[in-house]
Amino acid sequence: MSKPILLSVDDGLARITLNRPERLNAFDAALAAAWEETALEATSRDDVGAVLIDAAGPAFCAGGDVVAMATEMGSGAEIEALAHSINGGIAALRNSSIPVVAAAHGTTAGGGLGILLTSDYAVVGRSSRVGSLYAKVGLTPDLSVTAQLARAVGERRALQLVLTDRMLAADEALAWGLVAEVVDDDAVARRAEEVARSWLAGATRAYGEAKRLVRSQPDRAFAEQLAEEAETIGAIFGSDDARARIAAFAGKARS
């Protein structure tokens, strides 16, 4: 039996692959547990400077496995526990100082939208579609969708998605701000890795801290955010990488 999720690390890049293609990478109990464990491992490793989330098969993620919910989970408490487990992985990635890119091909729906929103930079294919679809099975949004969707696209558009079960085409998702880039379907994986490698080749620590500041801002009061910004730029300024880059830039400016 294949693992429900795969993790590989290569030259600073952690690749997390959802691996239930036969169920469109929908979450059952096994994938939920593996997702949380893998996200925690990837964000705690000293040799990881960027994370790439991708998926096996024709879809990125269909959210929760409704068949498993109906046949394997007998109570709301079990569904709640499943959501908490997946949320642990989402929080680990979102709150880390490691930038995350998603390579999202095919369909992203339900809780898969929460996984997409957890990435800091999302690349999708031209034929991709993104939406909610919770109401089709009589459920409410979970996996951070209500926490992150309105921040990404605004409250009115977020309500459109969750109240109409509308599926957005790739270009619409781009226009709404749900994704960062739309590329040819066969270029999604390559482009997402290029983005991740650019973070690793550049000011990796600065990118990571910038991501953390932006992600944590809505959770802080304005004054606290300004203090955190000042503290972080001071700490980054003292790093060897920043010193070298500043010296190089200053040298060019003086010449």
DSSP-derived secondary structure for 82-138: HHHHHHHHHHHHHHSSS-EEEEE-SEE-THHHHHHHHSSEEEEETT-EEE--GGGGT
The DSSP 8-state label assigned to residue 65 in this structure reads -
DSSP-derived secondary structure for 199-241: HHHS-HHHHHHHHHHHHHGGGS-HHHHHHHHHHHHHHHHTSHH
Active-site residue flag, 105: no
Looking at 28, 54, 65, 142, which residue is catalytic? 142
Residues with Cβ within 8 Å of 69's Cβ and at least 6 positions away in sequence, in order, are 79
Q: How far apart are CA 166 and CA 249, in angstroms?
A: 47
Q: Retrieve residue 104's tokens.
A: 């999202």
Q: How far apart are CA 205 and CA 145, in angstroms?
A: 28
> Letter for the amino acid at 136?
K
Looking at 11, 84, 171, 186, which residue is catalytic? 84
Q: Retrieve residue 7's tokens.
A: 């993790």
Residue 132: C-alpha distances to residues 63, 128, 141, 154 (Å): 9, 14, 8, 15
Other C-beta atoms lying within 10 Å of the C-beta of residue 130: 27
Q: How far apart are CA 161 and CA 167, in angstroms?
A: 8
Q: Which residues are catalytic?
A: 84, 142
